[in-house]
Amino acid sequence: MPSDHLFDHEKLNVYSQALDFITWVAVVLERVPKNVAVYNQLDRASTSIPPNIAEGTGKFTAPDRCRYYDSARGSALECAAALDVLVAKQILQKKRNK
């Protein structure tokens, strides 16, 4: 789609990165048993990031935008904690940088 036909949120790098994160999380969740409580939490939290970015971008005042961006950030932090839980439960292994 040409860039002049994009919604404002679709022009943001953070929005495309949030969509890439959902794709990555989907692959990770394939290795997680669905009966593990954090499975649904990680799925829901990762899925809520892009809609909050999009809705915030559509708001006209800075406080309104900030509220939605804060929600998106909170969901991202929730995802980070959920991934830590999966490592702590030894369902996933922490990737080590060389």
Q: Tell me if 64 is assigned to some domain.
A: yes
How many CA atoms lie less than 13 Å away from 44 in the CB half-sphere?
7
pLDDT at 3: 58
**Is this structure's pTM higher than 0.85?**
yes
Q: Which residue has the tokens 């909170």?
A: 74
Q: What total of structural domains would you count in the chain? A: 1
Sequential DSSP letters for 74-86: HHHHHHHHHHHHH
Q: Tell me if 66 is assigned to some domain.
A: yes
pLDDT at 49: 98
Range of the domain at 85: 34-90
Positions in the chain whose pLDDT score sits under 70: 1-3, 97-98
- DSSP 8-state secondary structure symbol assigned to residue 1: -
Q: Tell me if 81 is assigned to some domain.
A: yes
